[in-house]
Structure 1
Amino acid sequence: MVRTSSPGKVILFGEHAVVYGEPAIALAVTRRFKMNVRPRDRGKGHLVDGHRMTAAHHSYFKYAVENYWDGGPLDIATDSEIPSSSGMGSSAALTTSLMGALVELSGGTIDDERERIARQSFATEYGVQGRASPTDTSTATMGMGVLLAKGPMDGLLWHVERGGAEWYIHRVDVPQLNIVVGFTGIKGNTGELVAKVRRFWESNNFAKETVADIGKLTMEGVEALNAGNVERLGELMDRNHQMLSILGVNHPKLQRLVEAARPHSYGAKLTGAGGGGSMIAITDEPERVAKAIQDAGGRPFIAEIGAPGLRRDGD
């Protein structure tokens, strides 16, 4: 048996625009997706949490196993601290945990195969969602902080091309920030939201300009991070949220949580695909912001960022 786990993430800047090759910054959080994988001694077919693996209920598992596993039937057990469809990268944490287990079961090691795991995990998300970026899978694989940029910079890890877009994936230093996450309790469908933005982008030049503006703003965010300018980070987060609203991925409850957090924050925005899911706020008063989010109907938690990436845990 192999035990693996991968972290969730929050996107500080650049969601949706990153699908079109624009930059994004993501930070790993300490909530993890945990998995035990063992070969089945008896029976045919793969099991996930005691149920027969099907495309309808286990799309990421099925895609990964069919494309990247040459062995026999597997028995997979999962335990997630990351709410599904919350904007915190649960599918990427799932996929990378599974890919890491498959590598270990095949005689390899996660540490030697991180790039391959990240690439195959991204291919899985892309295959299931129809359109995706490597933001979540890169962050889940590497942990800490990740920057996707249009060209090579300091800290380059690898380069990915798919669907007419390309990304240069880098490590970034994880800043000392107090981040509060607020989950709406509404599950956003990443594939549908990405497709919605795609339709807008294809039919409207203003949408294309907004996507490009998010990319420019993200690089301003890199400068603010490097300078330790929290006030500037907050200002950019507020602007990024407005741009994502223009792209049509905000939600009334998300907006309510963002507005509740802002009086006690440097900035607040939705994080991830939107349509529900979660928002984040940067603040010097995390407990106060968490209470404001809770009072507005959200489920808050104070995030610890810079978590380690995919790893094999004790068997």
Structure 2
Amino acid sequence: MFVVSAPGKIILFGEHAVVYGKPAIAAAVDLRTYLYVGTDNDENQGHSAGDENTIRLQLPDIGLDHSWDRRNLVWPSSISSQAQSRLDTVFFTRLQKSCLADIPDALHRVAAATFLYLYTHIVPREIAGQTYLVRSNLPIGAGLGSSASISVCFAAAFAILAGWTQTAIEVPLAMTPGSLLTAQSPLELINDWSFVGELCMHGNPSGIDNAVATHGGAIFFQREPAIRRPIAALPPIKLVLTNTGHPRRTADLVAGVKLLRDELTSTTTAIFDAIEHLTEEAYSAITARDSVCDKQLDPRVSERLQTLFRINQGLLLSLGVSHPKLDQIRASATHYNIGETKLTGAGGGGCAITLVQSDTSPLALTQFREQLETPEVGFKVYETTLGGKGVAYASETVSATLYRSLEGAQLQSRGNWVYW
């Protein structure tokens, strides 16, 4: 039994434009997803802990609990450690018709389809069935990369089961690993396969979410041409993260921007170009040698980032991906003079990030939080740390039933985490 874990992310600059080959800056946050792989003593689903033919997927945060007989799954003709650059849509359709017909909920179907697609393409058929239990401190569908974090966990766990990555985990005889991978590093392997998971979920992902969830830290990212430039020493940037709780689907918002681009190509291209320029300006400011003064973000750099935050939000608003609830957060931040606010991720609800000014008082932050967390408003406010570690694994000794009862910090505090 073991657990893998991956962080969520926020995009500081470059949302949506990154899908069209423009750069973005993203950073891991200290909110994570955990995937338990092991046995279960819950017999309510028609199988016992010793049933090696049963594969059980549980995501209690969205109410999904489903089992399959691995002998009845649709399998590809062969398995390769080399991740696909494109989704096998014929196989994906066949998989959904054969294995997901009894899952009516759309969100459940997407999660289950992603799980099964990666499972059948990575895990050998002879591997015994297990329970796969997903727990998370990340809000679902809030623009914090929850789907990528889950995809990274799936890819990492399946690679361990397939023997493609060397770990200190003792794999049971019923799960004997195959040939160890030598051509790719574990992080490259996990990142590539988690991108396939993102293809299952979103159709046209940028790749930035799974890259941050895999590697952690902060990166300057560009899809075409492929650039992944780690920001080695992220300066101390104080952010407040506010979750509206308003549900939305990334795929729908990305599709809406594509429709706008198809209808008004020259206009949207100019918007994407402007986002590109401000992202590059932000990167230059963040990575400058004098960006930090007395262990604090230099006031000149802070002021520049405030301006770039404001412009970036305006451009995203023009793409039609903001939401009145995000505007409400921005209005509150302006009222208490905390700093500039922009959406993070796909928008349409989800989360906003506020870049806190250096002279903001603790009282102002408290008033901001209290106003937005009233029962009438119902938002959730976090003060977050940027640039955390990436994907990790740890051995586990408890059953899935016991692991399911853990909450919050208990998930991270268990075991000795190993980072690839």
Question: What TM-score does the superposition give when structure 2 sets the normalisation length?
Answer: 0.68
Q: Which segment drifts farther, 13-22 or 262-271? A: 262-271
Whether contact under 8 Å (1:290, 1:301) holds in the other structure is no
Q: Show structure 2 runs of 5+ residues with no match.
A: 40-48, 59-64, 69-99, 101-107, 168-183, 292-300, 397-420
1:243 aligns with 2:293: no
Name the SS for the 1:264 alignment partner.
coil
* Cα distance in structure 2, aligned partners of 1:180 and 1:222: 20
- Which one has the bigger strand percentage? 1
1:64 aligns with 2:118: yes
Whether contact under 8 Å (1:258, 1:270) holds in the other structure is no
* Cα distance in structure 2, aligned partners of 1:58 and 1:37: 16
Q: What residue is the counterpart of 1:98 in the other structure?
A: 154
Question: Residues 292 and 130 of structure 1: is their aligned pair in 2 closer, same or farther, counting only changes over 3 Å?
Answer: same
Q: What residue is the counterpart of 1:46 in the other structure?
A: 55
1:216 aligns with 2:277: yes
Whether contact under 8 Å (1:3, 1:34) holds in the other structure is yes
Q: What residue is the counterpart of 1:169 in the other structure?
A: 228
Q: What residue is the counterpart of 2:371 in the other structure?
A: 295
Matched to 1:114, the amino acid is L
Whether contact under 8 Å (1:235, 1:266) holds in the other structure is no
Matched to 1:193, the amino acid is L
1:19 aligns with 2:19: yes
Question: What TM-score does the superposition give when structure 1 sets the normalisation length?
Answer: 0.89
Whether contact under 8 Å (1:103, 1:109) holds in the other structure is no
1:118 to 191, 199, 202: 191
Matched to 1:241, the amino acid is Q
* Cα distance in structure 2, aligned partners of 1:83 and 1:256: 19
Question: Residues 286 and 245 of structure 1: is their aligned pair in 2 closer, same or farther, counting only changes over 3 Å?
Answer: farther
Whether contact under 8 Å (2:25, 2:218) holds in the other structure is yes
Residue 44 of structure 1: CA displacement?
3.6
* Cα distance in structure 1, aligned partners of 2:225 and 2:369: 36
Correspondences of 1:189-204 after superposition (within 5 Å): 189-204=249-264
* Cα distance in structure 2, aligned partners of 1:294 and 1:43: 50
Residue 92 of structure 1: CA displacement?
0.7
Q: What residue is the counterpart of 2:204 in the other structure?
A: 131
1:45-82 superposed Cα distances (whole Å, 9 cap, x missing partner): 42112422647152332232133222433310111000
Percent of aligned positions that are identical: 30
Whether contact under 8 Å (1:180, 1:290) holds in the other structure is no
- Between the two proteins, the alignment pairs up a number of residues equal to 301
Whether contact under 8 Å (1:290, 1:300) holds in the other structure is no
Pick the structure with greater CA Rg.
Answer: 2
* Cα distance in structure 2, aligned partners of 1:286 and 1:244: 29
Q: What CA RMSD, in Å, does the superposition of the two structures yield over aligned residues?
A: 2.1
Q: Which segment drifts farther, 83-92 or 198-207? A: 198-207
Q: Show structure 1 runs of 5+ residues with no match.
A: 150-159
Question: Residues 254 and 293 of structure 1: is their aligned pair in 2 closer, same or farther, counting only changes over 3 Å?
Answer: farther
